[in-house]
Amino acid sequence: MYIKRLHLKAFGKFINKKISFNNGFNIVFGENESGKSTIHNFIELIMYGFDDMSKHNKYKPWNSPLYKGYVEITHGEKNYVISRNFLLDTVQIFKKTNEANESNEENEDNETNDYLIEDIEVPGEYFFNISRISFNNTISISQLGNKTEKELAGELKNKIINLSSTKDEDISIDRILKSLNRIKEEAGSEDDEKTLLGQYALRLEELRKAKENSLISNRQVMFLAMEKKKLQSKIHELNVRIQDRNKEISDYELSLEKQKFLKAQPLMREIDSINEELKLIEGDVAACSKEDYKEASETESSLASMKNEKKRMLEEKADCISELKLNELDLCNYIPPDFDIDKLNEDYGLLKASGDKINALKEKMQLDKESIDSINIDEINKFIKDYTEVEELNSKIEINKVLTDNINYDLMKKFGKKQGWMSFFYGLSGTAFVSAAAVSCCYAYYNNNINYYYGGIGFLLGIIFFVFSWRKRNIALNTKKEIESMECQHADSILINGKMNDQINEIVKRNNYEDYLAMADAYQKKSAEKGIYEEKIELLNNDDNILNGLLEESNIIRERLNKSLSILNLSLSQDNIIEINDAYERKDSVKLQIENLKNKIEQIDKDIIRLDKEISFEEKRLTMILKANGAEDVESFKKAVELNEKHKVLLNRREYAEGILKNIIGSTDYYELKRRTMNVSEEVKEIDKQDVQLSIFRLNEEKTAILNNIEDIHNEIEDIEDNTRNLAEVEEEISFYEKKIRSFKDKIKAADLAAEKIKKISNSIKGDFMPLLKSTISDNFSYLTGGRYKSVSIDENMIITVMSEEEKDRKIELENLSGGTLDQLYLSLRIALSNILSGNQNIPLILDDSFVQYDSKRLGKSLEMLSRESERRQVILFTCQEREAELSKQMNIPFNYIKL
């Protein structure tokens, strides 16, 4: 059987890597990191799968989603393909039926021609017939290591001995049995104090004693508890007796108390009556003090005086304020600092002078006016007017006379006539020409002589004459009208003149003159009179102008004054000027006055505030005092104090009465006394109290003694319990150790049983397996050494010797063999094992860098040995050195060389 081909579809760093082996000696060369161990592991993993996840992750391809591979194995005459998907960890085995497909590259995936073998979980176990561990130990052989020959021999010897007795080169039967024995020894025995069992047995004994102790103690405690109980009942008995004695005394004392009560009764009645009285006023009595009252009334009167003082101050303040207001209203306060009083006075002087002048002028003018008024100017004017009118009328009459002169009238008449004639003449001439023209034209027409037409020019001339005629006629007509109007005018003038003369006469008469001349004389006089009048008027106008100038001047001054005065809101007047002057003079004094008043008011205000504070303090104090004493006002406070006094008197009385009562009944409550002695007769039964008390004392002494006894018992119990281990704990510990001992004993028994079984197995291995091993090793050793050594023997004492062909009887111990021979022996051992395990199947031999540390000589020998073995089985040697291949070539060893 041999591995024919590997196909790493995707495994570790390999993708689609194929490696073919032959059924002989294969040397796989690859430098470090080239993937030798990957391939080596691939074979193991495809045959056995993963045993731990670290390898799964280590070889998971990082550049392929796949994780699978195939191995082709030739087994007998048949070919098998083992396909494993590492991702899913599934394995399939195909038995190849179509040999033709063998060369097909994809035949692993072509399942149609193959036949699937089911029910094989671990192909390695199926094909090699050995477990993974055995596979790793036997098929894949690692070197023995670079050791001395002696060490090599020792290791090899151990392996052979172990194999002979346990079928495992690593398990030593001696060590196993020793281990089991150690377990037994550790447990030891109950008799041996030095061992655990012995210790436990001792502890157990102690505990049993402790338990005994605890039980005894518990009984003691029980006994003591009973004792205590008895004593407690004695105590109870004593208590009853003491109680009886005490009753005797208490009865006696009660009768004494009754006596006291009888004495106390009247006193109590008095107290009751005081209490009644107190009860009546008690509701009104407040906790108030006389001193407080005194203080409160004092405070109240001081408050009243303070309030008066305040009132006075407020009045004073009001006075001051009104005075201040007056002062502040004083004119002088409104005088601005730059006010020029001198200028004002000067202006006023000027104004006054100007006023005087104006008045004088006005007076004069008045006189003038009066004189003017005396002339009746209207009459004069009327007369003059009338006279003028008469004059005018006279002149008009004169003119009319001139106008109605006949010269113009005659001239006009002559001119008119001349014009009329001229018009007639021209008209006649015109008619003549037109007639001539018309005759001419008729001739021309009837004679048809053109020349007659020239006679038509006569028309033109006729027309011209007609025009002249018309014009002259018009002039003549106008002249005639003018003459007519002149005749009318003349007639009018005569009429008007008449009328005007009438008017003149009327005017003269109206003015009471006889005629025009008289009137003319009068006119002379009147004209002179009017001249005088007009002169006077002119003078008056002159004066008026002067007056206006003065008024203007005085107005300017007045305005100036008014301006000055308007600052002070004053009108111009003599009084005001005087007032201003006065005010100006008193300005400073008023200011001082105002200042003083203000200061005074401020002072008063301060005083008032101070006083207010004092008042409020006093008021608060008063309120506090009143509040503290529960009074609303001083009056009620007074009443309360009086009531209080009365209350005190009553209390004193009661206290006195109670003092006496206390002397009689002591600290006992009266009512308690009354209650206690209610059923007690007033009679006193005399007893010897001392005697009774003595007996009580004795009984108590006895009781104390018993109580002490009880206390002692109690302490004793506690003492016992404190010094005794808890029974439960002890028993628990006992059972704990008993269990321990039991389990140790079981363990010893188990160890014995195990040792027995192991020995039995070992013996059977020695009987069955050792001879097989011995002969198989011998066979292989002889084969590998080319018959130099004949056999290997192992005697009863596990001494291993080899026998050489040359010296047949000489047994050579391993220590005396050379390194090379030991290598051969080791290989023989490995091959023997794989043969035994696989049932002589000649399964492949895989070596991984086994000879790295070998020198050339030793390597040569090993190669020779492997070459020899490769004739029987497939040998695959993984190496990182070229020398194996080179040496093989030199030694003419046939091999299949694979370079990674």
Partner 1 sequence: MKLKFIHTSDLHLGKKFNINNFSLKERQKRRQELWNTFDEIIRTAKIKEAQYLFIAGDLTEGEYISYKELNKISEKFDSIPDTNVIITCGQSDPYNINNMYEYIEWPDNVYIIKNTETVEKLNFPNDNLCIHSISWDNHEKNEKSQSIYDISVDENKINILMLHSDIDSNERLPINIDIIKNKFDYCPFGGRHNFQHITNNIVYCGTPEPLSFEDEGEHGIIVGTLEKKKADYSLLPIAKRKFTTRQIELSVSYSFNKILDLIKFSGDTFSNTKDYVRIELTGQVNSDISMDEIEIEAKQFYYYIEFEDNYIYETEGKNYEGNEFNIIESYKHQFDNSNDKLQQQAFKLGLEVLRKEKVVK
Among 474, 541, 573, 735, binds partner 1 (CB under 8 A): 735
Measured in degrees and rounded to the nearest 5, phi and psi for residue 120 equal -115, 115
Here the tokens at position 446 are 């009837």
Least gap, CB of 24 to partner 1 (angstroms): 27
Which of the residues 669 through 708 are near partner 1 (CB under 8 A)?
none
C-alpha 369/C-alpha 374 separation (Å) is: 9
Site track 107-146 with partner 1 (rule: CB under 8 A), x = hit: ------------------x---xxx--x------------
**Subset of residues 808 to 867 that bind partner 1, contact rule: CB under 8 A:** 837, 839
For residue 733, the minimal CB distance to partner 1 (Å) is: 6
Q: Using CB under 8 A, which residues numbered 740 to 769 contact partner 1?
A: 746-747, 749-755, 757-758, 760-762, 764-765
**Which of 649, 673, 600 lies closest to 320 in space, CA to CA?**
600
What count of Cα atoms within 13 Å lies in the side-chain half-sphere of residue 630? Answer: 11
Indicate the residue among 131 and 700 with the shorter CB distance to partner 1: 131
Report if residue 729 touches partner 1, rule: CB under 8 A: yes
For partner 1, the closer CB: 225 or 460: 225
10 Å CB burial of residue 536 (0-12, 13-18, 19+) is middle
Q: Look at residues 763, 365, 278, 735 and name the one whose alpha carbon lies nearest to residue 550.
A: 365
Among 228, 472, 526, 861, binds partner 1 (CB under 8 A): 228
Kindly state the smallest distance separating residue 287's Cβ from partner 1, in Å: 44
| Bridge partners (DSSP) listed for residue 802 | 792, 812
Q: What is the closest distance, in whole angstroms, from the C-beta atom of residue 223 to partner 1 in the complex?
A: 10
Nearest distance, CB of residue 775 and partner 1, angstroms: 17
**Shortest CB 837 distance to partner 1, Å:** 6
- Select from 96-104, 351-359, 523-531, 715-723 the region that touches partner 1 (CB under 8 A): 715-723
- Residue from 22, 34, 101, 218 touching partner 1 (CB under 8 A): that is 218
| Residues within window 230-259 making contact with partner 1, judged by CB under 8 A | 232
739 binds partner 1 (CB under 8 A): yes
CA atoms within 13 A on the CB side of 283: 3
At what angle are helices 727-784 and 149-166 packed, to 10 degrees?
A: 110
Q: Cα–Cα distance between 420 and 469 in angstroms, integer?
A: 9
**x/- string (CB under 8 A) for partner 1, residues 771-810?**
----------------------------------------
Contact, 683 vs 229, CB < 8 A? no
Instruction: Report the alpha-carbon distance of residue 279 to residue 715 in Å, rounded.
Output: 62
Least distance between partner 1 and beta carbon 738 (Å): 10
**Residue 236 Cβ vs partner 1, minimum distance, rounded to whole Å:** 12
Tell me the DSSP string of 313-351.
HHHHHHHHHHHHHHHHHSGGGGS-TT--HHHHHHHHHHH
Least Å from the CB of residue 220 to partner 1: 10
Here's the x/- map for partner 1, 162-191, by CB under 8 A: it reads as ---xxxx-xxxx-xx--xx--x--------
Nearer to partner 1, 337 or 767 (CB): 767
Give, in order, the Cα–Cα distances in Å from 142 to each of 301, 610, 646, 827, 836. 130, 121, 129, 10, 19
Whichever of 216 and 226 has its CB closer to partner 1, that residue is: 226
Q: What whole-number distance in Å separates Cα of residue 509 and Cα of residue 744?
A: 199
Would you say 219 or 509 has its CB closer to partner 1? Answer: 219
Q: Helices (H) and strands (E) in the chain — how many of each?
A: 21, 14
HEC-encoded secondary structure of 633-669: CHHHHHHHHHHHHHHHHHHHHHHHHHHHHHHHHCCCC
**Nearest in space to 674 (alpha carbons), one of 388, 265, 305, 188:** 265
Chosen residue from 721, 793, 801, 841 binding partner 1 by CB under 8 A: 721
Residue 141 or 866 having the CB closest to partner 1: 141
Q: Which is nearer to partner 1, 479 or 762 (CB)?
A: 762
- Least distance from partner 1 to the Cβ atom of residue 225, Å: 3
Cβ proximity to partner 1, 130 vs 268, nearer residue? 130
Q: Min. distance of Cβ 76 from partner 1 in angstroms?
A: 17
Phi-psi group of 375: left, alpha or beta (phi > 0 → left; psi -120 to 50 → alpha; rest → beta): beta
Question: How many residues lie near partner 1 (CB under 8 A)?
Answer: 57
3-state DSSP assignment of residue 93: strand
Q: Is 672 exposed, middle or buried (0-12, 13-18, 19+ CB in 10 A)?
A: exposed
Residues in the chain: 900
**d(Cα 804, Cα 821) in Å, to the nearest integer?**
11
Nearer to partner 1, 688 or 732 (CB): 732
Nearer to partner 1, 15 or 753 (CB): 753
Q: Pick the stretch among 77-85, 470-478, 580-588, 720-728 that binds partner 1 (CB under 8 A).
A: 720-728
Distances (CA, A) of 129 to 92, 842, 875: 17, 11, 18
- Cβ 130 to partner 1, closest distance in Å? 7
In the complex, the smallest distance separating the C-beta of residue 136 from partner 1, rounded to whole angstroms, is 13
Closest to partner 1 by CB, 130 or 814: 130
Residue number, 172 or 693, with CB nearest to partner 1: 172
Q: Is 165 or 867 the residue whose CB approaches partner 1 more closely? A: 165
Taking alpha carbons only, the member of 832, 728, 751 closest to residue 784 is: 832
Evaluate whether 44 touches 132 at the Cβ level (below 8 Å).
Answer: yes
Toward partner 1, which CB reaches closer, 239 or 451?
239
Pair 218, 729: CB distance under 8 Å: no
Residue 216 found at the interface with partner 1 (CB under 8 A) = no
Binding site for partner 1 (CB under 8 A): 125, 129-131, 134, 165-168, 170-173, 175-176, 179-180, 183, 218, 221-222, 225-226, 228-229, 232, 717-718, 721, 726-729, 731-733, 735-736, 739, 746-747, 749-755, 757-758, 760-762, 764-765, 837, 839
